[in-house]
Chains A and B, each alone.
Chain A
Amino acid sequence: TQLLEQSPQFLSIQEGENLTVYCNSSSVFSSLQWYRQEPGEGPVLLVTVVTGGEVKKLKRLTFQFGDARKDSSLHITAAQPGDTGLYLCASRLYLDQAGTALIFGKGTTLSVSS
């Protein structure tokens, strides 16, 4: 089972600052997803990256997939209090029998204060 290492574990910043969080593995990802989880809710998908070197933008969020498909980063520009939450990266685990399931990193807890 490949492990997903996320860093930093906690991040507390002021509104308007920029930040980057990371997801790394010793294994090659077939694809990688980023989810955000707010308190009292389940995780919600932000993006899926599939191709090495791929960059995807979602408003102020920029997601990058490493060329070797072993790492990914999430950069937030001009963070806002609404960005507060737990950011999780996930990769797909292929099961012995038909089907797949997602495995997750521990996540980065982001707190943005105004």
Chain B
Amino acid sequence: ETGVTQTPRHLVMGMTNKKSLKCEQHLGHNAMYWYKQSAKKPLELMFVYNFKEQTENNSVPSRFSPECPNSSHLFLHLHTLQPEDSALYLCASSQEEGGAATEAFFGQGTRLTVV
């Protein structure tokens, strides 16, 4: 138990569906992140939220839409995805303090399959 919880753990969706991934952190951290992990590729940073404000959108297609209603919750809304979007989506949180090297705590991820 890392203090970061992701739901669902597994998701299969058609290309025309709309679904959302949820992440919740119980660590009191001020920053949250979405990463995508595909086979043969490094963990790719998608979005960064610092104090609930989106500070980074790493050239992610608009079919992925993040939402951060408060510092403890992060969502990733999905619509009209492509099969190549199938991957493990990981949420992480950390306590950002002036750029110091802090630890990132990850959830267990959502294994997404687009059919």
Interface residue ranges, A against B (CB under 8 Å): 4, 30-31, 33, 40-45, 48, 50, 88, 90, 92-107
Which of A40, A92, A99, A107 interacts with B101 by CB under 8 Å? A92
> Does B20 have its Cβ within 8 Å of any Cβ on chain A?
no
Question: Chain B residue with minimal CB distance to A106?
Answer: B42
Which of B40, B45, B55, B109 interacts with A42 by CB under 8 Å? B109
A44 and B2 CA atoms in complex are apart in Å by 8
Count contacts on B: residues with CB < 8 A to the other chain: 24
Q: Classify the interface of chain B: helix, strand, loop or mixed.
A: loop
The reply to whether B42 and A100 form a contact with Cβ atoms under 8 Å apart is: no
> Does B76 have its Cβ within 8 Å of any Cβ on chain A?
no
A95 and B50 CA atoms in complex are apart in Å by 11
The reply to whether A102 and B45 form a contact with Cβ atoms under 8 Å apart is: yes
Chain A nearest CB, measured from B86 CB (Å): 16
Question: Chain A residue with minimal CB distance to B111?
Answer: A40
Q: Which residues of B contact A44 (CB under 8 A)?
A: 2, 106
The reply to whether A104 and B43 form a contact with Cβ atoms under 8 Å apart is: yes
